[in-house]
Structure 1
Amino acid sequence: MNAIKWFTLPLLLLGLAGCASYYPIAVDVSPSVEVGGGVYRGQAIALSSRDGRANDFIIQIEQQGKSPVVVGAANNLKVQLEQALAQGLSTQGAFIEQGAATRIDMELQEVLARVIRGHISYDVVQQLRLQLTLERGGRTLTKQYRRSAQEEFPGRLHPELDKVKEALNKQLSLMVQDMLADRDVQNFINGG
């Protein structure tokens, strides 16, 4: 009888510990871009970025009667977005180099996916906001980019964070594409 107690107690504790840490503390975020070339003719651009968000988490899971659970980005979100923008600008024909006369500063202002539990599903409400500031020869152009989306995923117990992450990656990728397709940005870089 004593042997059974010693065997079941660790299993019970292990089971309880597993419930407490169901969600990961962070997920990988990796926006990607698909753009065509021929927009720029070798213009040099200095690119920098900063994170101006009030919170460093990117997913907030809300369940009635419980404290929200937050999940961060496993990698540096600012760096991921800067790299995606740099890749897109390079594909379009620009050169990224420090000290270039044309400077672009990208500021993350909001990146959040709220996961709200319903009866048989979860709503994922995404809010994204970034700002680009372009400078050259005393001229400045500031552009705000916003994206919001809402998706519903089935699930009674816990939301599948892989689906939430994919939805967030999709919106971040679309936002970078919005910046790369912006005619005002293209004209400014081209000297127009």
Structure 2
Amino acid sequence: MNPVKWLMTAILALSLTACASYYPIAVDVAPTVDAKGGVYRGQTLALNSQDSRKNDYVIQIEQNNKAPVVVGASNNLKVQMEQALAQGFSNQGAFVENGAPTQVTLELQDVLARVIRGHISYDVVQQLRMQLILKRDGRTITKQYRRSAQTEFPGRLHPELDKVKDVLNEQLSLMVKDMLSDADVQQFIGGQS
């Protein structure tokens, strides 16, 4: 290959990777738990989770006339959500243990923060969808949970992913709180004989 072609190829490759390399390939996702005690009186439950999302990334950065840049979670989102839910149930007075008669399955269906570039700012549109399936003694209830939020951040350059991660973690934490405070879930778990 002649030197001019080689140089042009190198410049083209560098320019194609420059935009994508600005962003990390993953961010830490860590929902927090806000659950008060006194809901359960030592009832037991088995908790597991599954990830049914179509995509394994949690942030999608959309820019004019460019392919979207996607950013994943550096830790296992399914495990993070399951641990947060287990901690919440424990804080409320339940015991989470394998083989318990009450089985709770957390299913992740959609977790995405879309970053949309504007002229002088960017919007972060968050969409979360999950469900809980509770089973005991041949009875089953399924509860759907959805959260959506939109946040605007000023800035003409690249979006600050720490801010995007923070608003996503906030929505994930609120989702855990929604599940823990659901009266149907509390009645089903608390109604063990």
Is TM-score (shorter-chain normalized) higher than 0.5? yes
Pairs aligned (count): 180
| Cα deviation, residue 19, structure 1 | 5.1
Structure 1 unmatched ranges of 5 or more? 1-11
Q: TM-score of the superposition, structure 2-length normalised?
A: 0.90
Q: TM-score of the superposition, structure 1-length normalised?
A: 0.90
Give the AA of the match of 1:39: V
| Cα deviation, residue 34, structure 1 | 1.2
Secondary structure of the 1:30 match is coil
CA gap 1:44/1:154 in 2 versus in 1, 3 angstroms: same
CA distance in 2, matches of 1:142, 1:88: 19
Give deviations 1:16-39, integer Å, cap 9, x for gaps: 666551000000000001111000
Aligned to 2:82: 82
Aligned to 1:169: 169
Structure 2 unmatched ranges of 5 or more? 1-10
Secondary structure of the 1:167 match is helix
Aligned to 1:71: 71
8 A Cα contact 2:20 2:69, kept in partner: no
Secondary structure of the 1:80 match is helix
CA distance in 1, matches of 2:45, 2:78: 18
Secondary structure of the 1:163 match is helix
CA distance in 2, matches of 1:89, 1:144: 18
Aligned to 1:56: 56
Q: Which runs of 4+ in 1 moved over 2 A?
A: 15-20
CA gap 1:144/1:70 in 2 versus in 1, 3 angstroms: same
Give deviations 1:32-54, integer Å, cap 9, x for gaps: 01111000000010000000000
CA distance in 2, matches of 1:18, 1:87: 41
* RMSD of Structure 2 on Structure 1 (CA): 1.6
Aligned to 2:151: 151
- Could you tell me the percent identity over the aligned residues? 73
Secondary structure of the 1:143 match is strand
| Cα deviation, residue 191, structure 1 | 1.2
Q: How does 1:19-30 map to 2 (within 5 A)?
A: 20-30=20-30
CA distance in 1, matches of 2:190, 2:139: 13
CA distance in 1, matches of 2:20, 2:126: 26
CA distance in 2, matches of 1:77, 1:20: 23
